[in-house]
Structure 1
Amino acid sequence: MGTTVILAEKPSVAKNIADALKIKNKKDGYFEGDQYIITWAFGHLLQLFDAKDYDSKMLRWKMENFPFIPNQFKYKVKTNPRNNQRADAGVSKQLKTIGKLMKRNDVDTIISACDFDREGQLIGDSIISNINPGKKVYRLLLNEWTQQEVIEGLKKVRLNEEMRPLGDAGLSRQWADWVIGINLTSVATLKYQKGKGKALNIGRVLLPTLKIIYDRDKEIKQFVPEDYFKLQATLETKDNQEFQAVYVEGKQEKFKAQQPLGEIQKQLKDKSALVIDKHVERKKEFPPLLFNLSNLQGHITNKYKGWTSDKVLKVAQSLYEKKLITYPRTSSIALEESLVGKTAKVLQMITEDLPYKDEVTFVKSKRVFNNSKVESHSAIIPTYVKPKKLTSDQQIVYDAIKNRLIMQFMKPAEYEETKLLLKVKGISLKGIFVAKGKVQLIEGWKKVERMVTKDTLLPPIDVNEELLIINTELTAHTTKPPKYHTEKTLLRVMETCGKSYREEDSEALLGAILSGFSIGTPATRAETIKKLKDIGYITSESKNLLVTDLGRKLVETFPISELFDLEFTGRLEKTLSDIERKIVTKDQFLSFVFDFTNKAVATVKSDQDVLIQEITSQKKSTEVLGKCPICGNAIIEGTKGFGCSNWKNGCKFVVWKNDKYLAAMKKRVTKTMVKSLLKDKVVYVKGLTSKKGNKFNAYLSYEKNKDNAYFSWRMEFKK
């Protein structure tokens, strides 16, 4: 029997496979055992040709060179991130190693063990077809990298040829994004930008995501606040217990006019009210469903300061590679029914030390195990491997995933809701007073994350009981504008393509998400949000995402409206999913994309000349702002901060421009602040903003930490 080469997507995964097969013999770029050789990629080792690689005339951007669509798409070794004119040396070396291994005479079988998704298929296929070893190729499709799964999975490998539709979807996505991105970024930059050094980035997923934030910002700017009024009464029972009730007419408790409520208020003096109805309802509250990637990102970015969707994905990926959680890039919120036995074991492991483990009962429920709600990969859950050492970031993400699984097997939370209807005696009113109370009876799954339900308690009261009105209050309110998007709300809109739903809502809508009708994929959404920030189309203030002036101008100027349309982008993403299902072919999809690109380029060319962005070349300032507190050399301004000119010799002193401590108080570090700090060791800063939104002034100093080489801000209110 010959030797088998297994190609993993990353070195850490290759090590997991080697560990599972008890192969300890590590060589340069691979592990070698008796039967298996395990090697690895570093994600994509090959990338598509740049336009200039096909034709030297494309070295310079000229309007007449576009549209540019190659007859055949070609690949080259991934370029060095610091110098895109050269192939990356590490990548070239690893590609040669993989090639030698696959072409060895004793090797008769190749197994691609890259991630079981569109990108993973593309990574494996591109490397193997580039090497062209002429051997039989199989596919290892796993949801986790635990020893048990690896050994079982190797017994059930599939022919790689069977994965052609998944590979076609990956190629279609890659080629379509290249064609749309290269052509429209180039012509948009030539048409709407003055000056060189940057480009106006145009992308299939970037633009609709930008439009979501633009639309919300516009809604907030155009919002006209309206005043409204409410009338509240405080009532007292026979045994001197007090509670509040609100005046309601029909279903209306907010009134536009103050005067009629004022007239009612005058009539209530020294009056009593009769309880005409009491409605008590016991309600159940079920836990939120298991995490898919978007929900996990939304949960963490909303709960913890300083987290982005991109960071959540990176941390989840590291837990996956450590064999601690299942595949994170999933859109499913349920588990495959075949995972019942495995989940029971995992649940036992993660609850064995819990003080309330007796309240956790494993059951096979449709809420958790449901094949119709699973697409490719099940929801994210822990594996049976117990974590040993986790960083604080890994602990946050692991605990969220672990807790969400435990919640599914605890009792629903139960509470009692009481509603009292009260009629004022002795006067004729259109409306009545309504009092509501809520009491939690069973904590259930809320115990897992110590979620506290705010109870509004009503005293024990019966129908026909008479109560004294001891106080009334007429309050003025103003309608509030919609809230800015956060990463959590933006991810939800991207995932559902703009259709909002509550967790237990519309099966059809969940079906649409699972069938791929969305903006981007779970794997790419975080990257899209990060890119929008990096290229300056959006910015973040605290958790809020806001459109920048550049982003706004682009939305209002760029004439290809389809690229801003959620439906259009959703249909494109749905078509990619349909390629995976063999409903649409790669050629049909690409033919549509190429035709769209040709028309879009023509539209941009014939559009009126408008300036969206002007790039002015700025000379670097070498102004000395003061002496470095560490080494005494000059402090000068850089693009991201004010740092020591002696940095090449290892001096690490720097004051970052968008320092997180100050950003939390809505302040950016300025040149003037740095000069004062270096001269006087302290600076008086006006207009800082507290968490509650109040403005204040304070003295700030920038002092070296005792236990490391870094500096931290200190605040004082009196000098």
Structure 2
Amino acid sequence: MKKVIIAEKPSVAKNIADALKIKNRKDGYYDGDEYLVTWAFGHLLQLYDAKDYDEKMVGWRMEKFPFIPNEFKYKIKCDGYNRNIVDKGAEKQINLIKSLIDRDDVDGIISATDYDREGQVISDELFIHFDVKKPIYRILLNEWTEEEVKKGMANLKLNSEMKPLQDAGIGRQLADWVIGINLTSVATLRYGGTGKDRKVINIGRVLLPTLKIIYDRDKEIENFESSSYYKLAVNYKSKDNIEFETLYYENSSEKFEKKEYLDEISKILAGKSGVVVHKEIEKKREYPQPLFNLSNLQGYITSKYKGWTSDKVLKVAQGLYEKKFITYPRTASTVLEESLEDKARKVLENIKKGLPYENQVKFVKSKRVFDNSKVESHSAITPTYVIPKGLSIDEQNVYNAIKNRFIMQFMPVAEFEETKITIKVNDEKIPGEFIAKGRVEIVKGWRVVEKIDTKDTILPLVEKGENLDVTSSKVNKVTKKPPKHHTEKTLLRVMETCGKNFKKEKEDKDESSDDETNTEEMMNAILSGFSIGTPATRAETIKRLKDIGYIQTKGKSLITTELGRTIVEIFPAKELLDLEYTGRLEKTLSDIEKGKYQKVDFLNLIYDFTKNSVEKIKSDDSLLHKFKVEVPEGLEEVGKCPVCGNPVVEGEKSFGCTNWKNGCKYTIWKEDKYIASFGKAVSKEMVQLLLKNGKVGFRNLKSKKGNTFSAYFKYEKNEETGYFNWSMEFIK
């Protein structure tokens, strides 16, 4: 008997076939004595469209939403160019997989899709669609080298053990469908315009909070108020005639508001000398940045090389993974599982051969590299023992970054001396002190791997008690700069942590500086699952925001477009713009994966949120003024609608806004019970005055006690209910 192995992609199927020494390739699969190895092309199935459940959903109508099916169904995915027809390649492959599973000589199936939430769903949705009854097993690998494939085949799990991962994957899939279909539809109907000019307003669980991050930074820059301060730079000369620069400090600060004060000190310094009152030399050690996870790799590459996007980095890394050159790239971890010690040693021995610093590379097991407590599903990205050949330039850039970061972990620690010299001038008008800081590299260590240049300030040899002459002084004006626009590098960082535990000042540093600052705090956020999206989807989210026109790039900067800004400002379901809310949803999915939370409870939360959000959008009138409607033929304009500015006309039973098709609810009923209770009727003249002045006055009104009085009536919207109500103001 045989087993069918289903890989996620053809390239991975070939790696498995090669490892199992299966040479016989047929149309759509490899045929071996014990195994039939076939493949998907990512998702071969997709969830039904709304119109597949109900043909009345073909034309979007506001009253049809919210729309949540009682049971979700899958179909063969649509053609990429024409959504009305089936993807022929997917249909052919699905039929082939089904025929292999149904063969009489097949007694089981092995799922060999990627070991993550999405990979689990890619195979499981097929098994659900086929209603497979034969035993299903799971191979869980972090790389597709021959050695690992054989080891994985010897340690298969039952696919039923992966139920929590399946629940998280399908829960994510259904949540995004429900939110996307419902909120995109009603938002497009409400805000997208009409007719041929209508724009689709895309709304998504991950799209909007990511857009909000970029919007917030844009607004911060826009509202930034420039300010300045002053510094006094003073040059001293050592006995060896070496000049060096110091900064003047008072109360531990070198920043001064008044230039005149520093100008005065500068004048006093002319011809003076100072004495070295303190000299401190401290030896420091500097460790390399940790191994790459996907977000850090994307940040590093997009920052270092022009024209790269996060999406491109992921695609290149995925290709290297499928070619067996690197481990699984879609990871959030920056450390390795402790069980990978022997494998890491083997990889290191292989890739260090021939390096100019080979003799400095020594395998050491440390908690900085191997730590089970900090691994989230997958270990960090590393090279495999397979040495690549024939890489493209793009592949070389990504592979070398991963290889170098791995090698750095097993190099000597970089060491340097940090010197701080404090100088005092003996003059009561100069109460502060002059400080110079410098640094000297003692051991290059891991820094030789990428030839990282330093711009260290090297100070001359001076001793405590030594007198130094002032050679020059200068007052410098420093203008505070606004924060920089987000780049893909900084955006990925915020998405990864939902902005938690991340000190903004680190973000504002020079873009050329290393990316993985604040690592420990970031890891804590990642380990809790509190993030936007997953390592696999963040790049896709950024790309989608560009594609749908919510953001644009300017150099490496990401900036919101007018459409993007408008969506953030007017979208009424504010939870979807909230980083913490979205982070909690992602945390819940992570908890489902771990068996701590039930899929059904998560989906009920999503359904309630969607229903409430649909109602908020339906009653939102913030953009109604953008629709311009002409007075229908044969009718006369009574006045302008106070909500949207379009004409109000008289109908048979009411006076109403002509913009009703786009959702304007402004209506005054002729037989209004409230007005009738005062013995009055709604007339054309009354409505004209109301629309012109915002209120209309009545005399001889009758109260319930029979008293007569005069009052102004206003017709105002209740913001909580969305409906208009009358209010009264007495005329004295």
Q: TM-score under structure 1 normalisation?
A: 0.84
Aligned to 1:525: 538
Q: Which structure: larger Rg? A: 2
Deviation larger for 420-429 or 285-294:
420-429
Q: Which residue does the alignment assign to 2:191?
A: 192
Distance in 1 (CA, whole Å) between partners of 2:167 and 2:173 is 10
Distance 2:627 2:414 in 1: 57
1:294 and 1:141 mapped to 2: Cα distance?
Answer: 22
Pairing of 1:361-376 with structure 2 (within 5 A): 361-376=362-377
1: CA distance between counterparts of 2:567 and 2:87? 34
Distance 1:470 1:569, change over 3 A: same
Aligned with 1:544 (options 544, 552, 557):
557
Supply the AA of the counterpart residue of 2:166: G
Report the counterpart of residue 704 of structure 1 in structure 2.
none
Once the two structures are TM-superposed, the CA of residue 198 in structure 1 deviates from its matched residue by 3.2
Q: Equivalent pairs: percent with the same residue?
A: 61
Q: Which amino acid aligns with 2:334?
A: I
The one-letter code of the counterpart of 1:229 is Y
Partner Cα separation in structure 1 for residue 62 and residue 329 of structure 2: 42
Cα offsets for 1:32-63 (capped at 9, x unmatched): 00010000000000000000110011000110
Aligned ranges 1:694-705 → 2 under 5 Å: none
Pairing 1:605-620 to 2, within 5 Å after superposition = 605-610=618-623
Alpha-carbon distance between aligned partners in 1 of 2:4 and 2:102, rounded to the nearest angstrom: 10
Return closer, same or farther for 1:506/1:450 CA change in 2, 3 Å cut-off. closer
Q: Which runs of 5+ in 2 are unaligned?
A: 507-515, 629-732
8 A contact 1:554–1:612 mirrored in 2: no
Counterpart-to-counterpart distance in 2, 1:531 and 1:310: 10
Q: CA deviation at 1:388?
A: 1.4
1:249-398 mapped onto 2 (5 Å cutoff): 249-398=250-399
SS in 2 for 1:73: coil
Matched position secondary structure for 1:490: helix
Aligned partner of 2:429: which letter? S
Q: Determine if the alignment matches structure 1 residue 598 to structure 2 residue 646.
A: no
Number of the residue aligned with 2:713: none
Structure 2 contact 265–429 (Cα < 8 Å) conserved: no
Tell me, yes or no, if the aligned pair for 1:213 and 1:485 is still in contact at 8 Å.
yes
CA displacement at 1:126 relative to structure 2? 0.7
**Range with bigger deviation, 97-106 or 125-134:** 125-134
Q: Which amino acid aligns with 1:559?
A: P
Q: Which residue of 2 aligns with 1:20?
A: 19
SS in 2 for 1:528: helix
Residue 529 of structure 2 is matched in structure 1 by: 516
Q: How many Å apart are 1:511 and its aligned residue?
A: 3.0
Structure 2 CA distance for aligned equivalents of residues 524 and 252 of structure 1: 44
Show structure 1 runs of 4+ deviating over 2 A. Answer: 195-198, 425-428, 501-509, 611-615
Structure 2 residue matching 1:305: 3-state secondary structure: coil
1:129-185 deviation digits (Å, cap 9, x = unpaired): 212232110001000000010011001010000001100000000000000000000
What is the distance in 1 between the residues matched to 2:132 and 2:222? 60
Q: Deviations over 1:86-129 (max 9, x none)?
A: 11011100100000000000000100000000010000001122
Q: Could you tell me whether the CA contact under 8 Å between 1:99 and 1:133 is conserved in 2?
A: no
Deviation of the 1:239 alpha carbon: 2.2
Which residue number in structure 1 is paired with residue 167 of structure 2?
168
How many residues align? The count is 614
What is the correspondence of 1:617-696 to structure 2 with a 5 Å cutoff? none
Structure 2 CA distance for aligned equivalents of residues 350 and 490 of structure 1: 33
Residues 614 and 489 of structure 1, relative CA distance in 2, 3 Å threshold: farther
Aligned residue for 1:70? 69
Query: Given residue 285 of structure 1, which amino acid in structure 2 is its aligned partner?
Result: E
CA deviation vs aligned residue, 1:2-24 (integer Å, no higher than 9, x gap): 10100000000000000001111
Q: Is the 8 A contact 1:320 1:327 kept in 2?
A: yes
Pairing of 1:561-580 with structure 2 (within 5 A): 561-580=574-593
Specify the code of the residue in structure 1 equivalent to 2:563.
L
User: Deviation at 1:475?
Assistant: 1.3
Give the conservation status (yes or no) of the 8 Å contact 1:550–1:613: no
Q: How does 1:214-229 map to 2 (within 5 A)?
A: 214-229=215-230
Residue of structure 2 equivalent to 1:477: 478
Relative to the length of structure 2, the TM-score reads 0.83
Partner of 1:673: none
CA distance in 2 between counterparts of 1:612 and 1:448 reads: 61
Which position in structure 1 is the counterpart of 2:634? Answer: none
Contact kept, 8 Å, 2:192 with 2:199, in 1: the verdict is no
Is contact 1:216-1:484 (8 Å) kept?
yes
Is the Cα contact below 8 Å between 1:29 and 1:39 reproduced in 2? yes
Q: Is the 8 A contact 2:193 2:199 kept in 1?
A: no
In the TM superposition, 1:458-497 aligns within 5 A as: 458-497=459-498
Aligned equivalents of 1:203, 1:488: Cα separation in 2? 22
SS in 1 for 2:438: strand
Residue 193 of structure 1 contacts residue 614 of structure 1 at CA under 8 Å; is this kept in 2? no
Give the secondary-structure state (helix, strand or coil) at the position aligned to 1:422.
strand
Q: Do 2:486 and 2:558's aligned partners in 1 also have CA atoms closer than 8 Å?
A: yes
Instruction: Give the superposition deviation at 1:607.
Output: 1.3
**1:89 equivalent in structure 2:** 88
Compute the displacement of 1:514 (Å).
Answer: 2.1
Q: Could you tell me which amino acid in structure 2 is paired with residue 165 of structure 1?
A: P
1:506 deviates by: 7.4
* Unaligned 5+ runs, structure 1: 616-719
Match of 1:149 in 2: 148
Which stretch shows the higher mean deviation, 431-440 or 519-528?
A: 431-440
SS of 1:587's equivalent in the other structure is helix
> Could you tell me how far apart the structure 1 residues matched to 2:238 and 2:163 are?
74
Determine the structure 1 residue equivalent to 2:696: none
Counterpart residue number, 2:9: 10
* Corresponding residue SS for 1:418: strand
Summarize the Cα distance change of 1:281–1:102 in structure 2 as closer, same or farther, 3 Å threshold: same
What is the deviation of 1:436?
A: 1.0
Secondary structure, counterpart of 1:382 in structure 2: coil
Distance in 2, matches of 1:72 and 1:132, equals 16
For residues 329-373 of structure 1, the C-alpha deviation after alignment (integer angstroms, 9 at most, x for no partner) is 000000000000010010011101101111111001000000001
Counterpart amino acid of 1:379?
A
